[in-house]
Amino acid sequence: MLNNKTILITGGTGSFGKAFVRYIFKKYPKIKKVIIFSRDEQKQHAMSKEFSTEKYPIKYLLGDVRDKERLLQVSKNVDIVIHSAAMKHVPAAEQNPMECVKTNILGSQNIIDISIINGIDHVVALSTDKAASPINVYGASKLLLEKLFVFANSDDNNESIKFSVVRYGNIFGSKGSVVPFFMTIKDQNFLPITDKKMTRFSITLQESIDLVMYALKNGWGGEIIVPIAPSYKIIDVAKAIAPNIEHREVGIRKGEKLHEVMISEYESFATVKRDNYYIICPTDGNWDRDEYCKKTDALMVDDGFEYHSGKNSEWLDIEDIKKLIEQEEIM
Ligand SMILES: NC(=O)c1ccc[n+]([C@@H]2O[C@H](COP(=O)([O-])OP(=O)(O)OC[C@H]3O[C@@H](n4cnc5c(N)ncnc54)[C@H](OP(=O)(O)O)[C@@H]3O)[C@@H](O)[C@H]2O)c1
């Protein structure tokens, strides 16, 4: 699927980007070229130690998704864009909302514009469960990214480019997330728990790669693809990492939800289940959901369906969490 293709990855030096590059070079030895696009030269230099330009068909290009001219230059002759670059820290986005708007919303529109101008085949953007019924700037900015991508698919300016979105929850053990945080402070005398009832969806880094690959392979364009994933309780993460110290409730932080909602009940009327994914279909007139279900064996979900981390049917218990920490080699 990716052999003989040129792939531009915005945010290619991030956790997802690096893991994705590792995966596609292994799986598709005849890839024509991978272009890594991000701002920080140090991160690109560090990445080039694993993926040197001598050994791999890879190019490191500096730039900011806010800069459309630069994006236009770097996306010439590109077949596929994976749009992963983002401001993703909830507190940083709360403190600097306009910076988040510039990167996550205006930057995403730039990706759409240059993809149309340069005739890219397929663009996949990475979104988050925080975009469903958002209460923080980050979630709201990703909701707008989703809206822009879904609209781009049906825009009159776009005849043939597929714009797909994948929406998923916390990557287990990702930088800045609760697992590595608890691991670094587990030898102190207590672990701070925002709220003992708090839950989150969980997927592994590999599952996020599989999700993007699924979008590239099966996406019609215009849909939001959501993986079916288990939930965990934050208190169970604390019990798995440091069972014998105090787990002290410190209160929920600004912009945080007690539970995440991956698909809100308001989206259920447009949602179908296909393979191991939910697909939120576009609701504009050009997209025929019945035809989609017929051609793909997808099934409509029940009316009022809500995919909620606190009401999930699949859970990671303390033992599962311990195994995942080992499997993902989180120190
Ligand atoms: N990690 C999770 O748990 C999770 C869950 C759901 C969705 N997602 C989404 O998945 C995507 C990737 O996440 P990640 O964990 O890989 O993030 P990450 O490790 O923080 O990487 C972010 C990447 O984006 C680049 N970047 C940031 N701002 C940029 C800009 N203005 N222009 C160009 N590049 C920029 C960064 O490099 P420079 O700083 O050098 O520019 C870096 O390469 C994000 O869109 C995120 O919202 C992540």
Question: What pLDDT digit, counting tens, does each position of 184-214 carry?
Answer: 999 999 999 999 999 999 999 999 999 999 9
Q: Ligand 1: which of 10, 21, 84 to mutate, judged by most atoms within 8 Å of the beta carbon?
A: 84
Domain residue limits at 130: 6-171+202-228+266-308
Query: How far is residue 61's CA from residue 101's CA, in Å, rounded to a whole number?
Result: 23
pLDDT tier for residue 237 given thresholds of 50, 70 and 90 = very high
> Which residue's alpha carbon is nearest to atom 40 within ligand 1?
40
Tokens of 293: 């279900």
Residue 75, domain member (yes or no): yes
Q: Mean pLDDT across the stretch 286-298?
A: 93
Residue 102, domain member (yes or no): yes
Residue 162, domain member (yes or no): yes
CA of 15 to the centre of ligand 1 (A): 7
CA of 303 to the centre of ligand 1 (A): 34
CA of 239 to the centre of ligand 1 (A): 29
The CATH number given to whatever domain includes residue 119 is 3.40.50.720
In 3D space, the residue among 306, 328, 305 whose CA is nearest the CA of residue 316 turns out to be 328
Residue 186, domain member (yes or no): no
For residue 218, report the phi and psi dihedrals to the nearest 5 degrees: -110, -10
pLDDT at residue 222 greater than cutoff 90:
yes
User: Order of strands, edge to edge, in the sheet holding 80-83?
Assistant: 58-62, 33-38, 6-10, 80-83, 122-128, 162-168, 224-227, 277-280, 271-274, 299-300
Q: How many residues does the chain have?
A: 331
Catalytic residue numbers?
130
Residue 242, domain member (yes or no): no
Residue 137, domain member (yes or no): yes
The pLDDT assigned to 157 comes to 75
pLDDT at residue 285 greater than cutoff 80:
no
CA of 12 to the centre of ligand 1 (A): 8
Residue 247, domain member (yes or no): no
The burial of 196, by beta-carbon neighbours within 10 Å (0-12 exposed, 13-18 middle, 19 or more buried), is given as exposed
For the chain, give the mean pLDDT. Answer: 96
Residues in contact with ligand 1 (CB, 6 Å cut-off): 10-17, 38-40, 43, 64-66, 84-88, 103, 107, 126, 128, 168, 170-171, 174-175
- Between 173 and 82, name the one with better pLDDT: 82
Residue 184, domain member (yes or no): no
Question: By three-state DSSP, how is residue 164 classified?
Answer: strand
Listing DSSP states for 225-280 in one string gives EEE---EEEHHHHHHHH-TTSEEEE--PPTT--SS-EEE-GGGGGGEEEETTEEEE
> Which residue's alpha carbon is nearest to atom 30 within ligand 1?
64
Atom of ligand 1 nearest to the CA of 89: 20
**Tokens 């019609």 belong to which residue?**
220
Q: Mean pLDDT across the stretch 246-270?
A: 94
Listing DSSP states for 93-160 in one string gives HHH-HHHHIIIIIIHHHHHHHHHHHHT-SEEEEEEEGGGSS--SHHHHHHHHHHHHHHHHHH-TT-SS
**CA-CA distances (angstroms) from residue 161 to 106, 112, 158?**
19, 10, 6
How many distinct structural domains can be found in the chain? 1
> Which residue's alpha carbon is nearest to atom 32 within ligand 1?
64
Q: What is the pTM of this model?
A: 0.97
CA of 85 to the centre of ligand 1 (A): 4
Q: Ligand 1: which of 38, 67, 114, 226 to mutate, judged by most atoms within 8 Å of the beta carbon?
A: 38
Q: Mean pLDDT across the stretch 68-77?
A: 98
CB atoms within 10 A of CB 66: 15
Q: Residue 210: in which H helix or E strand, if any?
A: helix 205-218
Which amino acid, 263? I
